[in-house]
Amino acid sequence: MALTAAELTAARDALLRARAGGVRRARDANGEEVEYRSDAEMARALAALDSEIAALAQRPPAAFHFKTSKGT
């Protein structure tokens, strides 16, 4: 199941707050806990979330709608 942009942004914000607070252990909305070994590992996780959010923002539209006429 793919996460929405809002869910990815919420996860990124929570991880950023934990990193800024010096906390290496974070709990997600499901109650699962993740412990990062270092600040560099947290930075890589933030970069991965940023790239996923950017990819969702640049996704092409799912459908194209053409409007045609006979040229009257």
Give mean pLDDT, residues 12-22.
89
Q: Residue 25 is part of which domain span? A: 5-57
Instruction: Give the separation between CA 30 and CA 48, rounded to whole angstroms.
Output: 20
Residue 71 lies in a domain: no
DSSP calls for 27-53: E-TTS-EEE-SSHHHHHHHHHHHHHHH
**Residues β-bridged to residue 34:** 26
Residue 45 lies in a domain: yes
Residue 70 lies in a domain: no
Give mean pLDDT, residues 35-45.
90
Domain count for the chain: 1
Structure confidence by residue, pLDDT tens digits, 44-70: 999 999 999 998 888 776 777 888 888
Residue 64 lies in a domain: no
Chain mean pLDDT for the chain: 84
Quickly state the pLDDT bin for 1 (edges 50, 70, 90). Answer: low
Say which residue, 28 or 54, is predicted with more confidence.
54
Q: What is the pLDDT of residue 51?
A: 92
Query: CA 33 → CA 13, 15, 28, 40, distances in Å?
Result: 16, 12, 6, 18
